[in-house]
Structures are given as structure tokens and as C-alpha cells.
Amino acid sequence: MIKSLVGRIAGKGSAPQDHAPASSGHGTPPRHEPSHKAPAAAQHAADGEGRGKGGGRRRRGGKAKAGAAPWSVDEFQVDPKEGETRFHDLGLRDELMQAIADLGFKYCSPIQASILPHTLQGSDAIGKAQTGTGKTAAFLVTIFNDLLCNPIEAERFVGEPRALVIAPTRELVMQIAQDAEDLARHCDLQVATLIGGMDYQKQLNRLHTTVIDLVVATPGRLLDFMSRRDLYLDHVEILVLDEADRMLDMGFIPQVKRIVRATPRREDRQTLLFSATFTQDIINLSEQWTYEPITIEIEPDHVATDSVDQKVYLVSSEQRYRVLNNLVRSDDATSVIVFANRRDQVRRLHERLRKSGIAAGILSGEIPQAKRTSTLAQFKEGKIKVLVATDVAGRGIHVEGVSHVVNYNLPEDPEDYVHRIGRTGRAGATGVSISFASEDDAFLLPDLEALLGTRLECTHPPAELLV
């Protein structure tokens, strides 16, 4: 399996399991296979003899390297810098380094520098980090480097990914999958996305015509594929649980537990868990799902305040829309995301902006997935200037060049504030966050300040925004 895990199995086979031996996760296992204690190559070789059922599942031999023009890491020069970790320092495969060079990454973010030296050696990890910290690249680099260093030479079967990433929202899954495609562009590794609201058959065709290495999925759609026996998780070598706290809040944990039980036991896989908060529930879950993990914490105040100019405008309920309308028409507001707390608020706000002649789009759970995807694409391309979103839909928005984030309502959960303003000031750029506080929600400010560890200065809007 993945590096160092064979040693784990041989030396620590008596360690307690976090669940019963892995099955397909949906009743009687459809296949009888060797124990997961066997090395991956041997197990797949054994599978090749007895795998006759499962709907005529396709198979293929080990991957051959594509005849691409040779590339050398010498073409990607990055000077050492005190206090910084270069990707060069991590011993990554050249195929991965070439993609990193294409993407313009030079130095690791704090969470990447802290976690990658451990995860690249096969260690389980728990990371406390908000979005915008580079955690997605951290776990994708871990996955791809490991798969490249440990190819399966024996026959492989469709519907059996080697790595799995679970995330709570469709938008976040799609963003992770896009980042994965970018990092895998020079690797012979295949990525599949499984989300609800999109054509099941198209996703199934992708799974059954290509031997997939990485699946990125929401819990509900993943269980759909498992229950229909279109996907098997008993060969998963690396499991990533992203935004575990949000999955807990959204009631997904029972589903995630079913999914985890369908993977190899925790001693026989590498598990990476990321959460914005470490509540007792999250700590308990991490103890069940990880094996001797390292723990990395990136504090939210560092994330929230370094690159974002945070402002709080004291407005009446009647002034909110007037201030917003004038703000989005200003010259410096080139790309704006507006957050509201409820779907009905988002819907009414979107309608008012469009009636005012503003090129605006909407992202919320009641919008069909295909429409949400096209809206997000238009926003990225600059065809839409303003995007109005709920917190759940907004979790997956990773767009460079967002100039302003507007909290039309203060979020009831302080953690959502950090996630909201993290949509701007990304990738070394600076951004502006403007929050409206009125008689309806100003009482939420102390909790925000407690989380951030700093006081938010409250002012009245400039006169030009009130006309």
C-alpha cells in the first residue's frame, strides 16, 4: 500500500481497529478477497484471478508513462528563503513539481510547511485550518506524490479508487477536483467527481470507462454509488475528510461513518482530517478514524487579518441595500461576493440587484447544480460582477481577484465569518471585507471579536454610500 504502511501492518497488527473489517459498505460483500494486510500489489494480483462478478467490471494493467517531453526540476529555480519552505525541499516527484511550477507555487503556506513533511512519509494527520490556508494543496500533494511513488503494476479494476476525498458541499468538491486536475496535469492519474444534482449516469460512465485513482465526493452521492455497487472503497489507501466540522453541522456524520467503515481499517490506510474547529465531537471522531496522527493548528486570526481589510458599517435595516447598491457600483469594487444568512434573503437580494441593473448571480441550495456551476463560471470569467450566496454554497467559492466580500447579515456562527472573508485576500493578494451591523444583529459582534482575538472597528458608512 502507501509508503510505510506495510511496516505499520507488520509491526502494529495488534493495534485496535476503529471498525469491523472493511466491506463494500452495503450489506453482504459482493466479493471475497484477500485481507487488506496484504501489500497492494499482491492483493491486486490476487484480485485479478477471482474477480468475475460486479457487472462485468473492466480491468487494466499497470500504467505506462506517457512519452512526454522530458522536464527537469532544474528549469524551476526558487531561491532558498529564511523561514520559508520550498516545494523543492520536500523531495516531490518531478511530474508533481512540474505542475507546481506551472501553477506558480514557490514556497509552502504555513500548514503545508508544517504538515507535508509528515504526510509525505505516510503519517496520519489532523489539521486545524480555515479555507484559504493552502490545505487543499497539502492533501492533494500528499495523495499524488504517494500514488506516483507507489504505482500498482498488477491489473486494476474500475470503480476502485486508491484515494478518496470527502467534502460537505458540491461547490467545495468541484473546487477540490479542479485543483486536483491542475496538480495532476503531468501525471498519469485520473480524478472523478461525484456530487448530487448532476447526471448520475454521466458520473457512472466516467467511473466505468476509466480506472480512477482519486474520487472527490459529497457523502450523499458517494453512498448512492456504494449502495448500487458502482463503487468500492476497500482499496482506498488515502482517505481525506475535509471540513469535518461543517459535515458535523450539516448532519453528515452518520453517512461519513458508513463510508469510513467501507474503507480498509485505519492502520491500513492513511487518513487526513481537516477542520476549522476542534470541538470535542471532532476530537472524538478523529480518534476513531486516524492512527497515531500528528496534529497541526493554524490559528484563524492569522488567516483572517493578514491580507483582508475588515470594516464594519453601522447601518439601519433600511440603509443596508442603499449602501450595498452604491458600494458595488464603485470603481474599486471589481468583483464582489455578498453573503446573507438565509436562502430567502439571498433570493430577494439577488432580485433587487438585478432590477437595479447590476450583473448579479445567485448561489444557494435551492438553485439546481447545473445553474450554480454556470453561475460560478460566469463570475470567474468576469461576466457577473456580484455573486450573492449562502454560507453553505459559498464554502466552495475559490476565485482569484475577489475585491470585496460583503456580509449583508452578520453570520450567526462566528466561524462562518472567517470562511466568508477568506473568499478575498487570497494567494498573496489583498481584499476588503465589509460587514453591515444593525439593530437586528449587532449583538453578534462580541463573539466574532472573541474568535478573531481582536476588536473590530465599527464606523458609519462614508457619505457617498448613503446617497
pLDDT at 284: 93
Phi, psi (5° rounding) for residue 373?
Answer: -65, -45
Q: In what order do the strands lie in the sheet with 431-437?
A: 360-363, 386-389, 336-339, 404-407, 431-437, 308-314, 458-459
Domain count, the chain: 2
Assigned C-alpha cell, 256: 461519513
- Do 198 and 327 have their domain in common? no
Domain that holds residue 137: 5-44+83-298
- CB atoms under 10 Å from CB of 153, counted, come to 12
pLDDT at 305: 53
- Do 363 and 428 have their domain in common? yes
For residue 69, is it within any domain?
Answer: no
- Do 392 and 420 have their domain in common? yes
- Do 307 and 272 have their domain in common? no
- Domain end, chosen from 267, 298, 329, is at 298
Evaluate whether 141 touches 91 at the Cβ level (below 8 Å).
no
For residue 173, is it within any domain?
Answer: yes
pTM: 0.65
- Do 31 and 137 have their domain in common? yes
CA–CA distance, 103 with 176 (Å, rounded to integer): 15
- Domain end, chosen from 249, 267, 298, is at 298
For residue 149, is it within any domain?
Answer: yes
pLDDT at 131: 67
pLDDT at 287: 94
For residue 241, is it within any domain?
Answer: yes
pLDDT at 306: 66
- Do 286 and 322 have their domain in common? no
Q: Which residues of the chain have pLDDT under 50?
A: 1-65, 301-303
- Domain end, chosen from 246, 265, 298, is at 298
Give the count of alpha carbons within 13 A of 390, CB side only. 18
- Do 262 and 340 have their domain in common? no
CA–CA distance, 70 with 66 (Å, rounded to integer): 10
Evaluate whether 406 touches 379 at the Cβ level (below 8 Å).
no
Q: Please report which residue ranges of 210-279 form alpha helices under DSSP H.
A: 219-227, 244-249, 253-261
- Do 439 and 318 have their domain in common? yes
pLDDT at 427: 60
Residue 389 forms beta bridges with which residues? Answer: 339, 363
- Do 212 and 275 have their domain in common? yes
Nearest to 153, CA basis, from 33, 41, 65, 2: 41
CA–CA distance, 152 with 45 (Å, rounded to integer): 9
- Do 311 and 432 have their domain in common? yes
- Do 215 and 349 have their domain in common? no
- Do 237 and 332 have their domain in common? no
The CATH code of the domain that includes 252 is 3.40.50.300
